A and B are shown apart, each in its own frame.
Chain A
Amino acid sequence: MATVRLSNISKTYPNGAKAVHPTSFDIADGELIVLVGPSGCGKSTLLRMVAGLEDITTGELSIGERIVNTLDPAERDIAMVFQNYALYPHMTVGKNMAYGLKNRGIDKATIAAKVDTAAQMLNLTEYLDRRPSQLSGGQRQRVAMGRAIVRDPALFLFDEPLSNLDAKLRNQMRIEIRALQRRLNTTAMYVTHDQVEAMTMADRIVVLNGGQVEQIGTPSEIYRAPASTFVASFMGAPPMNLIPAHYNGNGTVAVGSLSLPIARPADHKGEVVLGIRPEDATIGGTTPFKLDLIEELGANRLLHGTIDGNAFTVNAPNDDQPLATDLTLSLPNDTLHLFHGESGVRL
């Protein structure tokens, strides 16, 4: 249990490639923060720098009260769960969990007690004498969790821990990890490329793109007020519709020949990008929409089509009614997001 503070942490590889631009944020005690972004955005590098597996080029990292920049991973009081579990294949589940404690010179009785507690917590008691290869993917992931728990660390680090599991198990483990982290009240840093995982698990999300932080906020902040077109299109499924438009400062946005009123005026005049979440648009209104394709999702259906030649998706409740190709949509003005035409920054 500790607060973690990253101040101006950056990573430049010896070949000059900048993986992470100076980044600063704090993780509060007991908070689970999710780093999310497309592959190559630097989220894993950032996590590995916190873990001590990667050198920090500039900046200062503190876990608890200590500055840990130069400490070995083992001395940072952290535990990490890897994507491919990284269990020692030749050791039993029990020994896998005990290995870190053994190396710290903790006496056997204490280790056994800790391993037992963790195994009970994770329903692994009957598997303690098995080897990782005799376990299923979900069980292995739990062993990896157990190995992290027994160390009773100040900080949990998760490096895409669920991406090797199938979809159903992933949902289940997501809940288990979240519940466990809450229960232990241990600060955690969680890396994923899956925005659903990020939205469902995080206390706060850090969205990264190209080694830079695009936005830091709670899941609902990120969803309600994405800071840029990148965040808008990355977070949310299906992604937000982004349409190039023109804003002349008089309270309406022009999309081709259409004119849409906006709720609050913006400072920037000229080229803008108009963003509308698929679930915010409803059928029946004044905006003409040409329907091309329907994707059935069960309770909902996705209507793919165009508004004035721009691709547009609507997430509508499924009422099993056939739809004409020429529809009208209502786009409530308080759900419209405006972004700068060039920089993509929210206006």
Chain B
Amino acid sequence: MKSKKLLKAITVVFFSVISGVLSSLFAITGTEIMIKADNRPDGNDKKMEMKMILENRRGKQRIRSMMILTKDYGKDTKSVYFFKEPADVKGTGFLVWGYDDPGKDDDRWLYLPALKKSKRISGSSKNDYFMGSDLTYDDMGNRSVDEDIHSLVKEENLDGTDCWVVESVPKDKDYMYSKIISWIRKDSDLGVKREFYDKHGKLLKTMILSDIRPHQGYWTYFKMEVNNSREKHKTILIIENMNYDNNLKDSLFRVSTLERGQIR
């Protein structure tokens, strides 16, 4: 009897050890998850219209809409934005050549219709908010994986889909966030929820992606909502007319095209 119990105990310990060894051998790390999310297939280029709704604590809304073209050049990206509304910024263009290398600042040019010329602007201010929204340039996807230390916190089912939950702590201690927690869907490698914590470790804002579905062969979100819990302010992004792999010409991402004040 005793020997049976002993055998059972040895078997349990053996399989536990084997299971632990195997899981540690094949376990995915936080960094690997974030690299997967960063590298997830999203086409060689994208063309979309984006509506940005800014809502203050009283529910008053301000709406911006823009045309966005993006093209990948290896790990680097070129993007051009043309604003369609509101009326006071209609025709404003913004060209960004973004680099994956964290040590290299973006190249940025701004075209203001009133000035009728493009202006070279600093590419280092990634922490400034975009057009009065709750999103910084970094939040909009320009942050490199190498800029943070990532660790897998847990796995969790979020709204019916299995997710990895990854905590990312910036290597730069002066960065505006102390940590970012991301929910990455296992089926699509898409980051569907992110919590941003301020320098004191308090929750600053939450970003949630929704209306997620395969579109033209790529997992795509059509709505993003960012709730700034400190300022009780909200930013809602609605993606319309999303098109992947348009074979966008390189000429669309030239400064000379920006200076024409429109894209066709």
Our verdict on whether A and B bind, yes or no, reads no
